[in-house]
A and B are shown apart, each in its own frame.
Chain A
Amino acid sequence: VSIAPAQSPRSLHVLGVVCGLAAGAWLGAAEAPTKLVTTGLSPFVISLGMVAGVFVARWTVPMALKGTGYIWMDLKEKPHLVIWAILAGMLWAVANTLTVFAIRDVGLSIAFPLWNLNSLVGLFWGWLLFNELRGAGARQWAKVLGGGTALLFGACLLAYATTQTAGGEHRGSTMGILAALGAGLLWGTMYIPYRKAYISGMNPLSFVTVFTFGELGTTLLMAVLFHGGTEGLALELTKAKPALFWLFLGGFCWVIGDLFQQYAAKYIGIGRGIPLSNTNQLWGLAWGALVFGELAALGGNAQAIVLVGSLIMIVGAAAIGMAEAPESEQAAWRQAMDRECSRYGMDPKRVTAIMQGSDPLAQETPARQWWEGLVVVVALGIFAWLGSFATRPPIHFELSWAAALGAGTLAFLAVGAVMLWRRTRFS
């Protein structure tokens, strides 16, 4: 039987918080393989390479976990959400491209905090459209808003400190700031489709399977447009061939992180889920500083700022982690869910059960097909093929720290996956 036993809402809150933190770990780890990419590649090619890896993983992981029959039935049950998922993928791709311009024009130290405003944008949409934090009380508001702001402030400090060594000239234009703000707006708005899907009872694994079409299609279009046609893009891709493995690997890590982020958005909402997954900056910093030795040239002041920024982010994450939605807020969530059920003709009881971590669809799903295993083998084959001509650039690499951070990241995967399986069967 695939339906998990009824448990307290608190266990769902804990699950959502663990998923948010695991998302941060894996989204941060996704930055590590991209650091191995030799410089000189076009940012659009790097983005396209990662998204291509994401595309492969996003088909394979959901199929391995739930099977194509399940995913297909889930999509058929809520077909109106298909366009929402594609729209979310398009939002991601445009936002990602905007960040390239933002970094070019104003530098990472200014751009990063600006696009990290996505957590506050998501909080606003969650409150306005999905009744998040409605009836929550002042204490919960203080924890969520205060925690989100602390995470944002900590991220500002980290970005400021870590770019002290970078230096460099930037074009310094209003357009760069607008690009960063635009990216934050788009990434914050991208969570509207996420939440829409989950209060309609869609499985995150089904959602990301469709999401990836909008993501890859738009990224491909951007890459073609910005390279003056397909020939220019093909030339760039040929140059990037030795690095494609690392980009695909980064994309794979990103998929794992994004899946946890989706589950966090489902079980604790976007107002709490996004700030927690934004802790990826801490992990990215840890990989950069400890494994790649990026902060070796930092002075004492900058190192102190890094420490303070990291502590503030941890405090912010802890505050959100303790901001469990009270019964009055959960009643407001149910009103938003009922609204969706009424609009799209879905069964409120069934959707309620899914929102509580049950998986009624799993009992109705046809048996798995033999060729699903073949798809997994093909996906692994693609990685092996890319790995056969991958080259490791001559950069500083601390194996012991990489092993330690890798173990920590895998621990989050293990804990998150086991909790998801036990509590929801990946529902």
Chain B
Amino acid sequence: MAELAQGLSELQNYLLHWFRNGCLPGPGVEAQRGVGSGRGFVFYWVVQDLEVTSLKRSMISSIATDAHFWVPVCVLIIGTALLAVLR
């Protein structure tokens, strides 16, 4: 059980490192970061986009957790549906 917990913890760290840095932990990290490394390059930009751009994170947070957001969204859907019927 302890081994499983340790394994999960390592996996978590591994994934966190991957998402934060855009590359796998271990030797050759800098090489994987993008310069000449296709895999690292793609991951780097994807993760940069997800992690660094707080805009997306905040917007997702806004949509997921703010109940107020769904009030205008629902009203917009109703209005658009009404337009579709009128057309």
Give A contacts to B, CB under 8 Å: 76, 79-80, 82-84, 87-88, 90-91, 94-95, 97-98, 101, 125, 129, 175, 178-179, 182-183, 185-186, 189-190, 192-193, 196, 222, 225-226, 343-344
B87 and A226 contacting across the interface, CB-CB below 8 Å? yes
CB of B62 within 8 A of chain A?
yes
A182 to B76, CA, bound (A): 10
A178 to B85, CA, bound (A): 11
* Contact partners of A222 in chain B: CB under 8 A: 83
Look across to chain A and name the residue whose beta carbon is closest to the beta carbon of B65: A343
Look across to chain B and name the residue whose beta carbon is closest to the beta carbon of A100: B86
Besides A91-B79, A192-B68, 7 more A-B contacts (Cβ < 8 Å) are A76-B55, A82-B59, A91-B76, A182-B82, A186-B75, A196-B68, A344-B62
Query: Shortest CB–CB separation between residue A184 and chain B, in angstroms?
Result: 11
* Contact partners of B29 in chain A: CB under 8 A: none
A248 to B45, CA, bound (A): 41
Chain B contributes a number of interface residues (CB within 8 A of A) equal to: 24
A84 and B75 contacting across the interface, CB-CB below 8 Å? no
A370 to B55, CA, bound (A): 28
Pull 21 A–B residue pairs with CB atoms less than 8 Å apart, ordered by A: A79-B59, A80-B59, A83-B62, A84-B62, A84-B69, A87-B76, A90-B76, A98-B82, A101-B83, A125-B71, A175-B85, A179-B86, A185-B79, A186-B75, A189-B71, A192-B72, A222-B83, A226-B87, A343-B65, A344-B58, A344-B62
A189 and B75 contacting across the interface, CB-CB below 8 Å? yes
The interface residues of chain A, by DSSP majority, are classed as helix
B78 and A182 contacting across the interface, CB-CB below 8 Å? yes
Known pairs A97-B83, A196-B68, A226-B87; A87 contacts B78 (CB<8 A):
no
CB of B73 within 8 A of chain A?
yes
A91 and B75 contacting across the interface, CB-CB below 8 Å? yes
A95 and B79 contacting across the interface, CB-CB below 8 Å? yes
CB of B54 within 8 A of chain A?
yes
Query: Shortest CB–CB separation between residue A215 and chain B, in angstroms?
Result: 13
A80 to B85, CA, bound (A): 33
A141 to B80, CA, bound (A): 33
